[in-house]
Structure 1
Amino acid sequence: MAAISTLGRALPGNGRGRLVVFLGALTIAFGVAAAWLHGQAGDLAGAASARNDALTDNARTAEVKGQITTAVNTAFSYNYADVAKTEKAAQEVLTGKAVQQYNELFALVRKQAPAQKQVLTTTVTDSAVKSLTADDARLLIFADQRNIRTDKNETSYSAAVFAVNAVHADGAWKISNIDTLTEK
């Protein structure tokens, strides 16, 4: 209040006129500050989105989706008669931490698939690229799985949703991390 009184005495005219001028100046000051802050926030948001090629590069986004779809279909489909073939093919589309994760997941398959005569077919039905840079991507994967147990002549169907990280290496996108989206 003291600042308003001091400013009011410095402005010419009657008290009411001085208050109007002061409030107008204050409004302009707030408007300029708000515009500047909005610009700063926009720059930060713009910088983040500018680093995400998934928002701007349709060709690269389609490339990573296509290659990772093929990788998932390959790595997560197997036939009990030749699980080694699936493991070998998976190693070509996986890298880094994903190799260890896959080997841990596939250990159970090696044990159960031949005994139960299982054939699992995984088909990616859709995927979304959350983030994409020159050499890294994160995708959300939606897949249908058909599991046939030929020992009991049973077929079951299920859906799977998980995320993967991918890296671009040696001219191809490879899965570098598998995130089953379970709480840890």
Structure 2
Amino acid sequence: MTSPDAPTTPAPGPGDPPRAPRPWAALTLVLVLLACGAGLLHRTQQLTGAPALRNHALTDTGATDRVIRDVTGALTQVFSYAPGDTAATRQAAGRLLAGKAARQYAALFGQVEQRAARQRLTLTTHVVRAGVTRLDARGAHLLVFLDQVAQRAGTPATTVAAQLSVVAERQDGTWRITDIRSR
């Protein structure tokens, strides 16, 4: 007696000819190949289209080196101060920061100036590594790793590492930082 779940057609034997492929399997394969081809074509367009071509971060080493040099120099100046010379840091921020970065800095630096004088705090910033992720004629996006060494009078120095996302704009031939975000 056969069960109701048993196949009604016998399995092919060793001498039987192979079964003809089912048309739906071939159609499915064709559709999958077409979808993969369309996806690859779209991705190729993204990588070679106009926005990708405008990103000079990897193709213009001179411009990339310049923005890295300008931005890392600016970060070193605006995030380094001594208790008796915070005015130089404030002036550097006025020259090197713009937009949102300048407003955020101004709001926080008043508190820092008071604390630096009262606690005799010196902060020295060293950029460890910086890379440009996007660069065009007007703006740049950078990822910056830095170490900050804080020294209070009479205490050992403390080093803290930081990672920043920085946006800079080219204004009158100079790169000015317009946004800084801690990562």
TM-score (norm 1): 0.78
Classify 1:26/1:157 alpha carbon distance in 2 versus 1 (closer, same or farther; 3 Å): closer
Q: Which amino acid aligns with 2:113?
A: R
- Answer with 46-55 or 56-65: which moved more: 46-55
| Whole-angstrom CA distance in 2 between matches of 1:122 and 1:128 | 17
In structure 2, list runs of 5 or more residues that go unmatched. Answer: 1-18
1:158 and 2:160 are equivalent in the alignment = yes
Q: Distance in 1 between matches of 2:164 and 2:43?
A: 32
Gaps of 5+ in 1: 1-15
CA deviation profile, 1:33-89 (whole Å, cap 9, x unmatched) = 643442232112322432321132222111111110100000100011011111011
**Aligned-partner Cα distance in 2 for 1:173–1:21:** 63
Structure with greater helix percent: 1
Any conservation in 1 of the 2:162–2:182 contact (CA below 8 Å)? Answer: no
Task: Note the aligned Cα RMSD (angstroms).
Answer: 2.3
Asked whether the equivalents of residues 49 and 55 of structure 1 are also in contact (C-alpha less than 8 Å), the reply is no
C-alpha contact (below 8 Å) 1:75/1:89 kept by paired residues: yes
**What pairs up with 1:14-163 in 2 under 5 angstroms?**
31=33, 34-47=36-49, 48-150=51-153, 152-163=154-165
1:4-57 CA distance string (max 9 Å, x none): xxxxxxxxxxxx88x799987986676566434422321123224323211322
Cα distance change, pair 21–127 in 1 and its aligned pair in 2 (3 A):
same
Deviations 1:99-145 (A, max 9, x none): 11111221221110001111111010101212111111111111111
The 1:20–1:91 alpha-carbon spacing in structure 2 relative to 1, beyond 3 Å, is same
* % same residue: 33
Aligned residues: 164
